Chains A and B, each alone.
Chain A
């Protein structure tokens, strides 16, 4: 039985199914209330120390979620009702479940999205303790298993040992979820959007996260086909590795620049600069994860990457908050955030915050080959305003005698207005096509919604035509054009992008080798 879904992290996994939605191991009742109480206390303690261990390995928002869970578990007000029920004769597991279910119901009843979303946290907290209470106590998922269920909690992903393979298959889920990002960076195969139809939850299953499918109770023939695909994927990956250290060239001898996308300064630690042509996109939202970052924090983050890249270009995108990337204290709540105050719109509305980033960029520019681009530009006026702020800050730094340099300023092409009428932008230093947003705006299909994922294709003629138009405009005017969306690293999309005229792609570091291998196959 085969069910199709959406690939969230490519790869193949064959192994036993592990039911993510199964109730935790049965709890063995104790002799009296005192022992029941002790069992609950011990389970809460175990859950807290497990979370505390995960916090050390997590960063940014993952750590924030875990710290919140710990604080809830350590609050007597959460466990109070459960201990009271134990006192009146209930077993510890039922008492805890009832107490937490009542909390969950409270959150689910809220009329606000944010509060309702916390119900998932309360369920996660409930289950962590129930699992700790189970007879074996240990919750570790078996190595090499395919984790199958509605959705997966980040804590579950973080505590699973992926060293022996395994994968994730979700009925719902999202390619934009936190776990999906973690899976891609660790090379864990993952498929989402498999739908409600459940296969038999016993025996082995086959997970094809290259095309997006899971096969339950596979026939010998299916297993054989699967293993061929898996080994072909592994071969391609292996072959790709030989491409890694070489410059990318098509079959016809056309040179293609391949840069990397990074989100954290530490991302570059694992990359050999010789394997890429620079950083095509450095996101800066991460800096805005915990607090609004001060100038020094930003300066050091940018400088680290610039020094790593040497004389190769590093394109840093000014903060692209809003949309699916809310930053409390900075972004605003909106009913339709993807069409709201995000990217450059937000930066121009909050100039106090934008100016801090601008100063940090101007100062860092002297340490390498910096280029700066603005996200979500829709009109040339926005570009002019942002560029003017750079010039203004440059004047102020010069007056104070602070070392700095004004980098080339370019724009993201992700709002269709820019791709349709690029002539308004003849004076920008470069274009970088953000294919994720461009596609979702052209196709009117959210990229984090599994139900419309089939519409969200960069290879739709409408999207490709816009990309080709921008590439042609750039060639005409001598303005460099690159692409930094997920499509750039997708072997299935690369031929179409090169045919559309692009010669400069920026991809996730993990996709570098495969992208170069795919380029070598194209006859452009």
Chain B
């Protein structure tokens, strides 16, 4: 199993890869057997995409070019799915729509 894939995607979500977006991102990453990592720069450091603590630690705000790479079973599918999630703005407006 030497399958591997890599891609970059621009984060357009207002608060970046954080809190609720991270919950969705890591949940999706965990559905793949492949080892998946993210980074905010091409040369790393790379963070485990299945760990919300690590993904949050990447501190990727809006406008970040997010690097995603995967190795192993379903690597390209994993990268494709995660890129799609980021492009769809994590299928949300998240944190709060407070009323006043």
CA distance A105 to B62 in the complex (A): 22
A263 within 8 A of B: yes
Count of residues in A whose CB is under 8 Å from the partner chain: 47
B5 within 8 A of A: no
Stretch of A63-71, A205-213, A378-386, A457-465 that contacts chain B = A63-71
CA distance A76 to B51 in the complex (A): 8
B residues bordering A, Cβ < 8 Å?
A: 12-16, 18-23, 26-27, 48, 51-54, 56-57, 59, 61-62, 89-100
CA distance A3 to B83 in the complex (A): 54
Collect the chain B residues with CB atoms within 8 Å of residue A118's CB.
18-19, 56
Question: Which listed residue, B13, B53, B54, B57, touches A329 by the CB 8 Å rule?
Answer: B13
Using A321-B97, A328-B94 as known contacts, list a sample of 16 further A-B pairs with CB atoms less than 8 Å apart, ordered by residue number in A. A61-B98, A64-B94, A115-B59, A181-B99, A263-B99, A285-B97, A288-B97, A289-B97, A324-B100, A326-B14, A326-B15, A328-B95, A329-B13, A329-B94, A330-B14, A331-B14
B57 touches A106 (CB 8 A): yes
A333 within 8 A of B: yes
18 A–B contact pairs at CB < 8 A?
Answer: A60-B96, A64-B19, A71-B26, A71-B27, A76-B51, A106-B57, A112-B61, A263-B99, A288-B97, A289-B97, A290-B94, A291-B93, A292-B92, A326-B15, A327-B97, A328-B13, A329-B94, A330-B14
B95 touches A326 (CB 8 A): yes
CA distance A65 to B95 in the complex (A): 8
A436 within 8 A of B: yes
A97 within 8 A of B: no
B99 touches A292 (CB 8 A): no
Question: Chain B's nearest CB lies how many Å from the CB of A58?
Answer: 12
Collect the chain A residues with CB atoms within 8 Å of residue B95's CB.
61, 64-65, 326, 328
Question: Which listed residue, A60, A103, A176, A289, touches B100 by the CB 8 Å rule?
Answer: A176
A428-464 interface (Cβ within 8 A of B):
436, 447
CA distance A330 to B94 in the complex (A): 10
CA distance A112 to B58 in the complex (A): 13
Question: Chain B's nearest CB lies how many Å from the CB of A77?
Answer: 4
CA distance A64 to B21 in the complex (A): 10
In the complex, residue of chain A having the shortest beta-carbon distance to the beta carbon of B63:
A333
A72 within 8 A of B: yes
In the complex, residue of chain A having the shortest beta-carbon distance to the beta carbon of B47:
A77
A162 within 8 A of B: no
In the A-B complex, list the 4 residue pairs whose CB atoms are closest, starting with the nearest.
A61-B96, A328-B14, A327-B93, A289-B97
A332 within 8 A of B: yes
B97 touches A60 (CB 8 A): yes
A228 within 8 A of B: no
A436 touches B19 (CB 8 A): no
- Which of B22, B26, B52, B97 has the most chain A CB within a 10 Å cutoff? B97
A325 touches B18 (CB 8 A): no
CA distance A121 to B89 in the complex (A): 23
A328 touches B15 (CB 8 A): yes
A202 within 8 A of B: no
CA distance A60 to B94 in the complex (A): 9
Collect the chain B residues with CB atoms within 8 Å of residue A78's CB.
53
A52-90 interface (Cβ within 8 A of B):
60-61, 64-65, 67-68, 71-72, 75-78
Collect the chain A residues with CB atoms within 8 Å of residue B62's CB.
333
In the complex, residue of chain B having the shortest beta-carbon distance to the beta carbon of A328:
B14
CA distance A74 to B97 in the complex (A): 26
B99 touches A283 (CB 8 A): yes
Question: Chain A's nearest CB lies how many Å from the CB of B49?
Answer: 12
Question: Which listed residue, A76, A323, A328, A447, touches B89 by the CB 8 Å rule?
Answer: A328
Question: Chain A's nearest CB lies how many Å from the CB of B12?
Answer: 8
Collect the chain A residues with CB atoms within 8 Å of residue B98's CB.
61, 176, 178, 181, 285, 324-325
Question: Chain B's nearest CB lies how many Å from the CB of A116?
Answer: 11
CA distance A333 to B99 in the complex (A): 18
Collect the chain B residues with CB atoms within 8 Å of residue A64's CB.
19-20, 94-96
B51 touches A330 (CB 8 A): no
Collect the chain A residues with CB atoms within 8 Å of residue B53's CB.
72, 75, 77-78, 103
Collect the chain B residues with CB atoms within 8 Å of residue A325's CB.
96-100
A308 within 8 A of B: no
CA distance A112 to B14 in the complex (A): 13
